[in-house]
């Protein structure tokens, strides 16, 4: 358990999950928090990350920073998705180890699982068959991240835990149409289509001033606004969404994810995840030959043979519940009060058809979700409108 005065670095503290984790830690009395914006610290810059760790010397690290986006962004920026995320992970994890960080929590994604994985997806279905092509690069980067944590633990006796959240949504979500995830993108599209029909150009201007689309803000000519919004399937009382609407998705409120993350950070150790009680004595205590210390396996050149094969040490974080994209659209439409038409363009890709995760391990470690999807969509819509004020 980390002491209340422990210095905790939250990488990505302004993002969807990072900001929620930051607030959750504060609410629990952990006030010695460190955060840096991207402008203050570029996590892809190895020397800058090293200088940061030299100066701050955190006791614990939450790695919630990532280069993210939806199906469109994943398709367009494949090289960026693998390279940027690999750089971030390698720099933060390696410097955390070099600076003696006691506990590290790595946040991944359930896109790590194979496209045709058995449902619901257990942790041990990782690397059993091919990934979904449209987000393969991001998935590979996240698999590398969880394997870094696992491998550092096995070789060096560290206490790095990887959690794999399902689709997240909540306060500070990304509503930019070019690279946002399915729910915020859908919600903004429906909202703007309603405003166009209502001729509420003052509200449309406020929306675009807050989040311009391809450089078009609220001061632009109405014709230019309509043209750029149409590019993203937004019309007068009509919204066009990608795919068939049939894929099933699981969604988790970001503040629930934060609570799960902090629960794991404070209460779960690597030995708890792998379920091997002898791990702590092998790595941190005396072995049968009486000559084991914290760094012994580094000297031996690898992990510990008597533990056998250790893999899939990450933890799924979700609700264990799902709905179709079409059902989600109906929920968003009802919440926004949209009375227009929603059309699904089946010439566009669906992505993975089903991505339900098994959360038995998480439940066994003492945590379950609180916010159901119906309440969450309403909460997100309330937050979005307040963000435009």
Give whole-number Cα distances, 273 to 45, 172, 277, 285, in Å: 32, 30, 10, 19
Q: Is the dihedral of CA 153, 159, 165, 171 positive or negative?
A: negative
Backbone angles phi, psi at 261, to 5 degrees: -65, -45
Task: Clarify whether 138 is annotated catalytic.
Answer: yes
Q: Angle at Cα 254 formed by Cα 249 and Cα 164, nearest 5°?
A: 65
CA distance 133 to 326: 22
Helix (H) or strand (E) holding 29: none
Q: Are 188 and 175 in contact (CB under 8 A)?
A: yes
Catalytic site residue from 9, 30, 113, 138:
138
CA distance 273 to 25: 22
**Whole-angstrom Cα Rg for the chain:** 22
Close Cβ partners of 276 (under 8 Å, ≥ 6 residues apart): 307, 310
Nearest to 12 by CA among 107, 152, 112, 86: 107
Give me the active site residues, please. 138
């Amino acid at each position: 358990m980390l002491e209340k005065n422990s210095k905790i670095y939250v990488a990505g503290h302004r993002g969807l999950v990072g900001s929620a984790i930051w607030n959750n830690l504060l609410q629990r009395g952990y006030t010695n928090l460190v955060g840096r914006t991207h402008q203050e610290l570029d996590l892809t810059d190895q020397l800058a990350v090293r200088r940061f760790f030299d100066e701050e010397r955190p006791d614990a690290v939450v790695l919630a920073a990532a280069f993210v986006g939806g199906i469109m962004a994943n398709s367009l920026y494949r090289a960026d998705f693998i390279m940027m995320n690999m750089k971030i992970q390698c720099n933060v994890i390696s410097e955390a180890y070099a600076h003696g960080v006691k506990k590290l929590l790595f946040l991944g994604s359930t896109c790590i699982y194979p496209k045709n994985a058995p449902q619901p997806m257990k942790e041990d279905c990782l690397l059993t068959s091919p990934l979904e092509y449209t987000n393969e690069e991001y998935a590979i980067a996240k698999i590398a991240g969880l394997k870094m944590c696992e491998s550092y633990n096995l070789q060096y006796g560290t206490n790095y835990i990887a959690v794999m959240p399902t689709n997240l949504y909540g306060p500070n979500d990304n509503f930019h149409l070019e690279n946002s995830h399915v729910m915020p993108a859908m919600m903004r599209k429906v909202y703007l289509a309603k405003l166009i029909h209502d001729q509420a150009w003052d509200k449309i201007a406020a929306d675009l001033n807050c989040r311009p689309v391809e450089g078009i803000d609220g001061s632009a000519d109405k014709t230019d606004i309509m043209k750029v919004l149409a590019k993203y399937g937004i019309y007068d009382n009509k919204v066009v969404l990608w795919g068939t609407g049939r894929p099933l998705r699981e969604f988790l409120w970001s503040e629930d994810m934060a609570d799960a993350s902090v629960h794991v950070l404070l209460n779960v150790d690597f030995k708890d995840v792998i379920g091997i009680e002898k791990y702590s004595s092998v790595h941190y205590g005396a072995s049968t030959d009486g000559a084991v210390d914290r760094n012994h396996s580094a000297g031996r050149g690898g992990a510990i043979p008597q533990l056998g094969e250790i893999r899939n040490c990450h933890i799924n974080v979700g609700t264990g519940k799902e709905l179709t994209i079409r059902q989600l659209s109906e929920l968003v439409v009802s919440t926004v009060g949209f009375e227009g038409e929603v059309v699904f363009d089946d010439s566009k890709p669906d992505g993975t058809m089903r991505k339900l995760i098994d959360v038995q391990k998480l439940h066994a470690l003492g945590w379950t979700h609180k916010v159901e999807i119906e309440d969450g969509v309403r909460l997100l819509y309330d937050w979005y409108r307040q963000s435009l004020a």
